[in-house]
Amino acid sequence: MGVKQQYKEKYISASDAVAMVKSNQTIGIGIAGAEPVGLLTAMADVALDIEDVHFWTCLPMRPYDIFMKQEMAGHIFNENWFYSYGDRKTHNEGRASYIPNNLNRASTDKLFSTNGQLDVFWGTATPPNEDGFMSLSIGLIVQGDLLEAADLKILEINENLPWTFGDTIVHISDVDYVVENHVPVVELPSSPPSEIEEQIGGYIADLIKDGSTIQLGIGGIPNAITAFIMERKDLGIHTEMVVDGMVDLVEAGVVTNRKKTLHPGKIVGSFALGTKKLYNFLDGNKDVEMYRGYYTNNPYVIAKNNQMISVNTALQVDILGQVCSQSIGTRQFSGTGGQLDTHRGAQMSEGGRGIIALRSTAKKGSISTIVPTLAPGAGVTVPSQDVDTIITEYGVAELRGLCVKDRMEALVKIAHPDFRDWIKEEANRLGIVPKLLF
Ligand code: COA
């Protein structure tokens, strides 16, 4: 059968697709910018007629009724690898729960917990080419694994999605149905760096030498540093998240990928989130390859890049060197994502370094982010035994291999001056570093 005929036979409306969902089923979806917007929206029309349908999500980008509306309790439950704004709210209302994970194993561990069972997969893809091949575009972290595992596979075709290469290509014969929804791809613009972010960016830039391969994590600070490495030569990119600032680095000739020891000549990523500038850059660009999180974020794969520098940000760091990037005390804020994967992989690379950069205070300077102990109930994103380099606007603390007393001293130097004595006094009072030691 010809490709056009196959497409025609598999083409259904979003209403037909959501009508196939049954009570107690589990549905995996494409993540972030690869969300199936039409299917998730149409699901609200049938959700109240069925019970206990579980979604596996990651960084949802829009406030879908099925997740946000209180009347969905008992009908829809959101198991989530990475919270965004809406999930923090629906968590409190009892309709969402975080799945602890390192993103390189998010889909494989989840499938392990169900003996490989997934009822339905809804992802997104570009329209097929004349041979029937489609690109899974900008959300590879879990899409490939879930697509292969699901009993019922439906792709939402969107002509606005960029065609990306790597492990992205699926054939029309690999899916059961297609729906169409040509909405604009969700955008996440970045704001210009603040004065503090500029100071932090300067310290990070000093640690990125010519020929390094970089990873930039999610959040204001990692995205801001691209402006500070415009003088570097022959940088490479191996990253979970591909962002707008990387386009500037390529266009300025800073990123050439020539010196990469793994995938030379190529930017390697797993998902992309930014603006149209980024999506246009990715479309049909053979210098960029997108792979599943299982590959891109595997620390052993990351480590094959020499001089690998990972840059992520955090909410709190304690004097043991434990990094919390995912919760504010007991409140789940986001997720581990690929932070531990990339921090570990970078340290395993020859000449590599894992950087966690954060502002020294939060809440308008009223609290220190460098703390004697993490807030009770905080999720540990990077354990103390994995931590490497912490940076604030006050400088750089290199913690790898240091004892706790020396870690405390290094961290106190980069804490805000208003909190330095407090950190030491608390460390003493709690017996983490007894006074006679400092
Ligand atoms: N205590 C209490 N609140 C704090 C805090 C602290 N120590 N530190 C920050 N906050 C608050 C901020 O005030 C802000 O609150 P607001 O939204 O009310 O203004 C909020 O937490 C977010 O802080 P901000 O610094 O603006 O966050 P960000 O957008 O730069 O993201 C992380 C920072 C750490 C949440 C984000 O990078 C993350 O989730 N990281 C984990 C995943 C990861 O790094 N993956 C890497 C591969 S992509």
pLDDT digits (tens, 9 = 90+) for 387-413: 999 999 999 999 999 999 999 999 999
Whether 131 and 206 share a structural domain: no
Q: For a pLDDT cut of 90, what percent of the chain falls above it?
A: 95
Residue having the nearest C-alpha atom to atom 27 of ligand 1: 219
312 lines ligand 1 (CB under 6 A): yes
Q: Is the pLDDT of residue 181 over 80?
A: yes
CA distance linking residue 256 with residue 153, whole number of Å: 38
* 119 lies in the same domain as 73: yes
**Inside any domain, residue 188:** no
Which one of the listed residues 35, 156, 197, 240 is annotated catalytic? 240
Report pLDDT for 1. Answer: 78
The strand pair at 361-362 and 367-368 is best described as antiparallel
Report the pLDDT value the prediction gives residue 223, as an integer from 0 to 100. 79
How many folded domains does the chain comprise? Answer: 2
**CATH number for the domain that contains residue 101:** 3.40.1080.10
Would the CB of 222 count as within 6 Å of ligand 1?
A: no
pLDDT at 219: 85
Question: How many CB atoms within 10 Å of residue 132?
Answer: 17
Residue 187 inside a domain? The answer is no
CB-ligand 1 contact for 314 (6 Å cutoff)? yes
Nearest CA to ligand 1 atom 6: 315
435 pLDDT higher than 90: no
Tokens of 242: 């591909």
Based on the domain organization, do 22 and 53 belong to the same domain?
A: yes
Model confidence pLDDT, tens digit, residues 190-235? 888 899 999 999 999 999 999 999 999 988 888 788 889 999 999 9
- Residue 400 one-letter amino acid: R
**Mutation pick for ligand 1 pocket among 313, 322, 373 (CB with most ligand atoms within 8 Å):** 313
Residues 142 and 207 in one domain: no
- pLDDT the model gives residue 220: 82
- The residue whose two tokens read 């997740």 is 67
Q: How many residues does the chain have?
A: 438
Q: What is the per-residue pLDDT for 157?
A: 98
Q: What is the pLDDT of residue 438?
A: 61
Q: What is the pLDDT of residues 132-180, one digit of tens each?
A: 999 999 999 999 999 999 999 999 999 999 999 999 999 999 999 999 9
Pairwise CA distance, residues 6 & 135, whole Å? 17
The secondary structure of 93-138, three-state, reads: CCCEEECCCCHHHHHHHHHHHCCCCEEEEEEEECCCCCCCEEECCC
345 Cα: distance to centroid of ligand 1 (angstroms): 22
pLDDT at 434: 84
Interval 345-362 mean pLDDT: 98
How far does residue 221's CA lie from ligand 1's centre (Å)?
10
Q: Is residue 186 part of a domain?
A: no
In a domain, 190, yes or no: no
Split at pLDDT 50, 70, 90, the class of 12 is very high
CB of residue 339 inside a 6 A radius of ligand 1? yes
Residues 67 and 133 in one domain: yes
Residue 120 has pLDDT above 70, yes or no: yes
Residue that is last in its domain, among 180, 215, 246: 180
Of 218, 322, 367, the residue with max ligand 1 atoms within 8 A of its CB, to mutate for a pocket test, comes to: 218
240 noted as active-site residue: yes
Using alpha carbons, list the distances in angstroms from residue 186 to 40, 74, 367, 376: 14, 29, 34, 35
**Could you report the per-residue pLDDT of 140-149, keeping only the tens digit for each?**
999 999 999 9
Task: Give the amino acid at 342.
Answer: T
CB of residue 26 inside a 6 A radius of ligand 1: no
What is the distance between the alpha carbons of residues 17 and 110, in angstroms, rounded to a whole number?
24
Of 152, 180, 208, which residue is a domain's last?
A: 180
The CB of 270 under 6 Å from ligand 1? The reply is: no
**Domain co-membership, 141 together with 240:** no
Domain co-membership, 149 together with 229:
no
Q: What is the pLDDT of residues 51-106, one digit of tens each?
A: 999 999 999 999 999 999 999 999 999 999 999 999 999 999 999 999 999 999 99
pLDDT (mean) for 302-323: 98
Residue 142 and residue 31 in one domain: yes
pTM above 0.95, yes or no: yes
Please give the structure tokens belonging to residue 132: 């029937």
pLDDT at 436: 65
Domain presence at residue 13: yes
Do 148 and 205 share a domain, yes or no?
A: no
Residue 359 Cα to ligand 1 middle (Å): 10
Tell me: pLDDT of 437 over 80. no
pLDDT digits (tens, 9 = 90+) for 366-376: 999 999 999 99
The parent domain of residue 366 ranges over 195-437
d(CA 32, CA 186): 8
